[in-house]
Amino acid sequence: MSKKAYVRAHTNIALIKYWGKRDETDFLPMNSSLSMTLDKLYTDTMVVFDEALPQDSFYLNGEKQGEKETQKISKFLNLFREEKNTAIRARVESINHVPTAAGLASSASAFAALAGAANLALGLDLDPQRLSTFARRGSGSATRSIYGGFVEWDMGTCSDDSFAVPVDDAGWDIGMVIVAVNQKAKEVSSRIGMKRTVETSPFYPAWVESAKRDILDIKAAIAAKDFIRLGEITEANGMKMHGTMLGAEPPFSYWEPDSIVAIKIAQALRKQGIACYVTMDAGPNVKVLCRLSQAETIKQALLEHFTEDKLIITKPGKGIRELTP
Ligand code: 2P0
């Protein structure tokens, strides 16, 4: 008998960043983080568990994936199989709905969608909080993609209580303009980058201390629906994270010339009275946090330097949900 489920999960952008693990096996972070789930970027994943399958297989955007990619999926599915006490194999089919030029293929939406689908297909009935602890062991940022809106990943004390907590549905005037600077493969993966930073950057302990304060402050700003404060904390936190990498040995940076161009455009808009704030992750793309009602104006300013296909406007997105095939 086969057991099947089809689930959508959206990606998320951290406003307070996760950058560093205290436990690499269980993906336990050094600090709590807080993100916004995005409407426009998501992954749809179908999982079929079937006694007749000799092994796991994984298809991404219609293409059968190689051994390395499939092993990653198998290892992740083992968490669910252990929970169910079964050895049943699976076929996984994922479609990444990411605008082509974005270069934002995300492990966050991928592992959240796969976690949601495996949970349903095996009839495990994990609640969202527990499910987020499973998603976490695929990729840290996937923890937060279980929920929509603003989501905190509480660092917790152990694997069982390092989970996602919904903070606010972000149903106010909030948006994001993504500037897709380029799609080149990263020279330093985020996993290696964070490890190097934790192990060698003298700025790292200061980052952890400062992120603890930032998470309290940003939650207060969200509770007060204070967009300016939300943006200020977001921009400062992201800059501090990138600062830790310049202190690493050997030092590294994900920034490119066009990243700085986008940041300068956002800063110039701010001087003109448009509230917008930048954040960047483990890559050169710039995300401009703004009021959704002003996103089009911001996009117009960015169009002076970037082409239309590099600019994506999105509103906050929802948490994972089941789809009908
Ligand atoms: C974040 N990033 O909070 C941070 C900010 C990048 C910069 O989470 O090793 O793919 O799989 O847990 O989640 C990217 O790292 O890393 C990330 P793993 P992940 O969104």
Q: What's the gap in Å between 301 CA and the centre of ligand 1?
A: 29
Ligand 1 lined by 152 (C-beta under 6 Å): no
In this predicted structure, what is the pLDDT of residue 103? 56
pLDDT for the residue numbered 98: 80
Where are any strands of DSSP class E within the chain? 2-16, 21-23, 28-29, 33-50, 57-60, 63-64, 89-97, 150-153, 164-168, 175-179, 276-280, 286-290, 311-314, 321-322
Cis amide prior to 202 (ω within 30 degrees): no
Q: Are 157 and 208 contained in the same domain? A: no
Does 19 share its domain with 161? Answer: yes
Rounded distance, CA 175 to CA 233, Å? Answer: 16
Q: Is the CB of 197 under 6 A from ligand 1?
A: no
CATH number, position 35: 3.30.230.10
Residue minimizing CA distance to atom 4 of ligand 1: 18
Q: Do residues 89 and 196 both lie within one domain?
A: no
Verify whether ligand 1 is closer than 6 Å to residue 211 (CB atom). no
pLDDT per residue as tens digits for the range 109-135? 999 999 999 999 999 999 999 999 999
What spacing in Å lies between the alpha carbon of 13 and ligand 1's midpoint?
A: 10
> What is the rounded radius of gyration, in angstroms, for the C-alpha atoms of the chain?
19
Q: Is 324 among the domain residues?
A: no
In a domain, 321, yes or no: no
Of residues 22, 281, 316, the one with CA closest to residue 151 = 316
| Final residue belonging to a domain, choices 137, 169, 201 | 169
For residue 153, give the ligand 1 atom closest to its CA: 3
Ligand 1 centroid to Cα of residue 34, in Å, is 12
Structure tokens at 58: 């994984």
Q: How big is the chain, counted in residues?
A: 325
Reference 91, options 55, 117, 127, 115; nearest CA is: 55
Secondary structure element (H or E) that encloses residue 241, with its range: helix 227-246
Per-residue model confidence (pLDDT) at position 218:
98
| Full pLDDT tens readout for the chain, 325 residues | 679 999 999 999 999 999 999 999 999 999 999 999 999 999 999 999 999 999 999 999 999 999 999 999 999 999 999 999 999 999 999 999 986 555 576 899 999 999 999 999 999 999 999 999 999 999 999 999 999 999 999 999 999 999 999 999 999 999 999 999 987 777 899 999 999 999 999 999 999 999 999 999 999 999 999 999 999 999 999 999 999 999 999 999 999 999 999 999 999 999 999 999 999 999 999 999 999 999 999 999 999 999 999 999 999 999 999 998 7
Could you list the beta-strand ranges (E) of 28-99: 28-29, 33-50, 57-60, 63-64, 89-97
Sign of the Cα pseudo-torsion (63, 69, 71, 75, in order)? negative
């994984």: which residue's tokens? 58
β-sheet bridge partners, residue 3? 49
Instruction: Assess whether 251 and 163 both reside in one domain.
Output: no
Structural contact between residues 8 and 42, judged by C-beta atoms closer than 8 angstroms:
yes
ipTM of predicted complex: 0.98
Residues 254 and 161 in one domain: no
Rounded CA separation 271/274 (Å) = 7
Q: Are residues 88 and 184 in the same domain?
A: no
Could you list the residue range(s) of the whole structural domain that residue 297 is in? 175-314
The set of long-range contacts for 209-216, using a CB threshold of 8 Å and a minimum separation of 24, is 210/237, 210/240, 211/16, 211/17, 211/31, 211/32, 211/33, 211/237, 211/240, 212/31, 212/32, 214/16, 215/16, 215/31, 215/32, 215/33, 215/34, 215/152
Structure tokens at 104: 């934002």
Which of 169, 203, 224 terminates a domain? The answer is 169
Separation of 191 CA from ligand 1 center, angstroms? Answer: 7
Say what the pLDDT of residue 2 is.
74
Measured between alpha carbons, how far is 41 from 38 in angstroms, rounded to an integer? 6
Q: Are 247 and 203 in contact (CB under 8 A)?
A: yes
Half-sphere exposure of 306 (CA within 13 A, CB side): 30
Distance (angstroms) between ligand 1 centre and the Cα of 106 equals 9
Residues 267 and 285 in one domain: yes
Q: How many CB atoms lie within 10 A of CB 323?
A: 13
Task: Indicate whether 11 and 157 sit together in one domain.
Answer: yes
**Which of 11, 13, 17, 18 best tests ligand 1's pocket when mutated (most atoms within 8 Å of CB)?**
18
Span from the CA of 255 to the centroid of ligand 1 (angstroms) = 16
Q: How many domains does the chain have?
A: 2
Whether residues 149 and 282 share a domain: the answer is no
C-beta 27 within 6 A of ligand 1: yes
pLDDT for position 183: 72
Does residue 117 lie within any of the structural domains? yes
DSSP string, 202-233: TTHHHHHHHHHHHHHHHHHHHHTT-HHHHHHH
Co-location of 196 and 269 in the same domain: yes
